[in-house]
Amino acid sequence: MNFLRNLIASIFGTLIALGIILVLIVLIASAVGETEKISVKENSVLEIRLEKTVKDFAPKSDNPIDEIFGFNDDKIALNDIINAIENAKDDANIKGISISTMGVGAGVSQTQAIRNKLEEFKASGKFINAYADVYDQKSYYLSSIADSIFLNPQGSVDFKGLSSEILFYKDLEDKSGVTMEVIRHGKYKSAVEPYLYNEMSEANREQISSFLNAIWIEILEDVSKSRNIIVEELNNIADNLLGRNADLALRNNLIDGAIYSDEYENKLKLAAGIAIDSDLNKITIEDYISTGKGRISSSASNKIAVIYAQGEIMYGKGDENYIGQDLIIKALKTARESKEVKAIVLRINSPGGSALASELIWREIELTKKTLPIVVSMGDVAASGGYYIACNATKIIAEPTTITGSIGVFGVIPNISKLANKIGINAEQVSTNKGASYSAFEPMSDSFRAVTTEGVEQVYNTFLDRVSAGRNISFAAVDSIAQGRVWSGVEAKKIGLIDELGNLDDAIAAAAELAEITDYKVRNYPDYKIELEDRFGGFPFMKTKEKLLIEEFGEENYKIYKTVKSFSNLKGIQARMPYIIEIH
């Protein structure tokens, strides 16, 4: 009886505590809702800092609870940034832009897209200045578009060229007895190389060198144009690290002055036409977006649907971090059933993943393009499964620095038979039939390997068929440029994997042209619904699992953990690029 009384008391106590917490949340939310709204003051300078993670699409909830607990704080949407810069061109209150970011939480293609929009802003006659205590390579690439670039006198410009590092685990497998059984098609399908070899294959080195050089040329040409430094000299600067201190950076024309932040503030005042002894009105791009400037206003009734497919492809529902067929299929159906939607742009930023989920999305695109034109816009990466869901679009547009292709497939299965042997575990199986079966405690049998290889080959041939039909290229020609080979956007255009080079705006314009409309507005999809348990999954700490792991292990160790964890979660045959690539 005492136990029952205590249990009931505990339940009531918990309910009362939860009730109090909810009341407090409502009160705080009300207080937040009553705070003064952000406004753009006269003679303001738009400040761009991009240390946060930049995602192609990062819908933010307008729920005050999300603001209170910081659910909206760790990301910023590329489309919002682009729209904000576009709006700032014609905003009389914005006199110019200050880029003051030490790091850029965006991919190379995303950074180039922002840089291109800043170039348009500069062409309007308004100023752009840049300042940092230290420039890493990506932040310098972004900032190089500025009229004037300034650096802390004790700072540096890390301009050194691009590199990529891949970790190999073969020795670790041999020592631990935990191995990954790999079956693949495509000599360039290097996503699984770390489990097969101790060093990079020549084929993989060839493709990485090829697309790194293609991307580097894009960066060099952009910086060369903005800074009036010939490409050969920029390579010399990179080879000899001639931006490693402020004096060298100034001498080699990487910057326009070595000054302190207070001196830079005065330069911004002069550029904005404000007296030195007056206060400078600065508004961050996040605050500017929050005033509604992250959208382009339009009264048009016609719509272009932009469907964002970002992250790895996994069988299932999907969310803003990974692509599941359910959400993408639902978005495609919703768009084609809408009377206002006249065309679709599928924005892809994905290294691929589940071949089955990719096939299901491909099928929905086949159905949809019978009704509406579909233009694919490729972001930083649209490779392997990411290319699978692009190949049958009406038109494909990629950024010059997009990583694409990787038309190949693999299967990977963990095996611990050597480890089991070492520690004295023996597994025995009893079966009713003779069909090939697999146990992680036994070496893979020839019959099981044969069946799995057959499945990989079938998916690979289907992939080639899809590309052949979608791109109107012969099966043999597709096979010759496939084999898991990764290409840059520039290279992909030369071999027919894409139609044009351009950004998301170009893709939207192409979709409007195919739909034969001139007056339209953009509607973004999918619609993400965040359930209550997802919001408070980390309560009371209010931190995502990712944030906690990064804090615990550090950024680099977390990347290794994420790589191994990702492979352990693979299900079914994969159409996935060598996604371990990190460009520095």
Query: Regarding predicted confidence, which is higher, 18 or 510?
Result: 510
List of residues 6+ apart from 561 with CB closer than 8 A: 549, 553
Catalytic hit among 384, 406, 417, 468: 384
The pair of three-digit structure tokens given for residue 298, joined into one six-digit string: 């339009």
Determine the pLDDT at residue 375: 98
Has residue 1 been placed in a domain? no
Determine the pLDDT at residue 297: 85
CA separation for the pair 533, 71 (Å, rounded): 13
The pair of three-digit structure tokens given for residue 429, joined into one six-digit string: 């199986």
Instruction: Examine the fold and report which residue of 293, 320, 355 is the final residue of a domain before the chain moves on.
Output: 293
- Give the residue-averaged pLDDT of 340-349: 97
- Structural contact between residues 522 and 508, judged by C-beta atoms closer than 8 angstroms: yes
Average the pLDDT over each of 74-88, 149-163, 165-179, 226-240 and give the range with the smallest value. Answer: 165-179
Instruction: Examine the fold and report which residue of 250, 271, 293 is the final residue of a domain before the chain moves on.
Output: 293
Determine the pLDDT at residue 532: 42
CA separation for the pair 51, 101 (Å, rounded): 7
Backbone angles phi, psi at 399, to 5 degrees: -70, 155
Query: Regarding predicted confidence, which is higher, 122 or 68?
Result: 122
The reply to whether 266 and 349 lie within a common domain is no
Determine the pLDDT at residue 434: 79
Has residue 192 been placed in a domain? no
Tell whether the model's pLDDT for residue 111 goes beyond 80. yes
- Give the residue-averaged pLDDT of 232-243: 97
Residue owning tokens 């990954």: 180
Determine the pLDDT at residue 65: 52
Has residue 101 been placed in a domain? yes
Tell whether the model's pLDDT for residue 563 goes beyond 80. no
Query: Regarding predicted confidence, which is higher, 382 or 539?
Result: 382
Average the pLDDT over each of 258-262, 270-274, 535-539 and give the range with the smallest value. Answer: 535-539
The reply to whether 263 and 407 lie within a common domain is no
Query: Regarding predicted confidence, which is higher, 291 or 16?
Result: 291
Determine the pLDDT at residue 326: 96
The reply to whether 332 and 282 lie within a common domain is no
- Structural contact between residues 195 and 412, judged by C-beta atoms closer than 8 angstroms: yes
Has residue 557 been placed in a domain? yes
Residue owning tokens 């070899």: 197
**DSSP H helical segments within 48-151, as ranges?**
64-68, 78-89, 108-123, 137-143
Tell whether the model's pLDDT for residue 467 goes beyond 90. yes
Instruction: Examine the fold and report which residue of 293, 312, 336 is the final residue of a domain before the chain moves on.
Output: 293
Determine the pLDDT at residue 238: 97
The pLDDT tens digits of the residues spanning 84-97 come to: 999 999 999 999 99
Nearest CA among 92, 90, 140 for reference residue 115: 140
**Domain at 124, CATH number:** 3.90.226.10
Q: Give the confidence band of 432 by pLDDT, cuts at 50, 70, 90.
A: confident
Determine the pLDDT at residue 71: 53
Tell whether the model's pLDDT for residue 1 goes beyond 90. no
- Give the residue-averaged pLDDT of 216-240: 97
**Element of type H or E holding 576:** strand 574-576
CB-side exposure of 433: number of CA atoms within 13 Å? 3
Determine the pLDDT at residue 229: 97
Determine the pLDDT at residue 171: 87
Neighbours of 572 (CB within 10 A): 13
Nearest CA among 12, 55, 5, 64 for reference residue 33: 64
Determine the pLDDT at residue 489: 95
Tell whether the model's pLDDT for residue 208 goes beyond 70. yes
The pLDDT tens digits of the residues spanning 148-173 come to: 999 999 999 999 999 988 888 888 88
- Give the residue-averaged pLDDT of 370-381: 97
Percent of the chain with pLDDT over 70: 81
Q: Which of 27-36, 215-224, 413-422, 569-578 has the highest mean pLDDT?
A: 215-224
Q: Virtual CA dihedral for 163, 167, 171, 173, nearest 10 degrees?
A: -160
Average pLDDT, the chain: 86
The reply to whether 324 and 427 lie within a common domain is yes
- Give the residue-averaged pLDDT of 51-67: 73
Determine the pLDDT at residue 531: 47
Has residue 184 been placed in a domain? no
- Give the residue-averaged pLDDT of 314-340: 94
Has residue 32 been placed in a domain? no
Catalytic hit among 126, 189, 303, 395: 189
Q: Give the confidence band of 571 by pLDDT, cuts at 50, 70, 90.
A: low
DSSP 370: T
Nearest CA among 148, 166, 76 for reference residue 114: 76
Q: What is the domain count for the chain? A: 2
- Give the residue-averaged pLDDT of 350-362: 95
Tell whether the model's pLDDT for residue 569 goes beyond 70. no
The reply to whether 445 and 540 lie within a common domain is yes
Query: Regarding predicted confidence, which is higher, 442 or 19?
Result: 442
Residue 302 burial (10 A CB sphere; 0-12, 13-18, 19+): middle
The reply to whether 289 and 321 lie within a common domain is no
List of residues 6+ apart from 418 with CB closer than 8 A: 177, 178, 179
The reply to whether 279 and 308 lie within a common domain is no
Determine the pLDDT at residue 528: 74
Has residue 384 been placed in a domain? yes
- Give the residue-averaged pLDDT of 310-329: 93
- Give the residue-averaged pLDDT of 406-423: 86
The pLDDT tens digits of the residues spanning 30-55 come to: 555 444 578 889 999 999 999 999 99
Q: Give the confidence band of 22 by pLDDT, cuts at 50, 70, 90.
A: low
Tell whether the model's pLDDT for residue 568 goes beyond 60. no
Has residue 398 been placed in a domain? yes
The reply to whether 270 and 311 lie within a common domain is no
Task: Supply the pTM of this predicted model.
Answer: 0.83
The reply to whether 279 and 392 lie within a common domain is no
The reply to whether 263 and 376 lie within a common domain is no
The reply to whether 269 and 365 lie within a common domain is no
Does 384 participate in catalysis according to the annotation? yes
CA separation for the pair 272, 148 (Å, rounded): 14
Determine the pLDDT at residue 36: 54
SS3 194: helix
Tell whether the model's pLDDT for residue 258 goes beyond 70. yes
The reply to whether 385 and 332 lie within a common domain is yes
Query: Regarding predicted confidence, which is higher, 566 or 488?
Result: 488
Does 160 participate in catalysis according to the annotation? no
Q: Which of 12-16, 91-95, 183-187 has the highest mean pLDDT?
A: 91-95
List of residues 6+ apart from 272 with CB closer than 8 A: 43, 44, 45, 95, 96, 127, 280
Tell whether the model's pLDDT for residue 530 goes beyond 90. no
The pair of three-digit structure tokens given for residue 268, joined into one six-digit string: 């911004």
Percent of the chain with pLDDT over 90: 59
The pair of three-digit structure tokens given for residue 519, joined into one six-digit string: 């007056």
Domain residue limits at 289: 44-160+241-293
Euclidean distance between the first and final Cα of the chain, in Å? 66
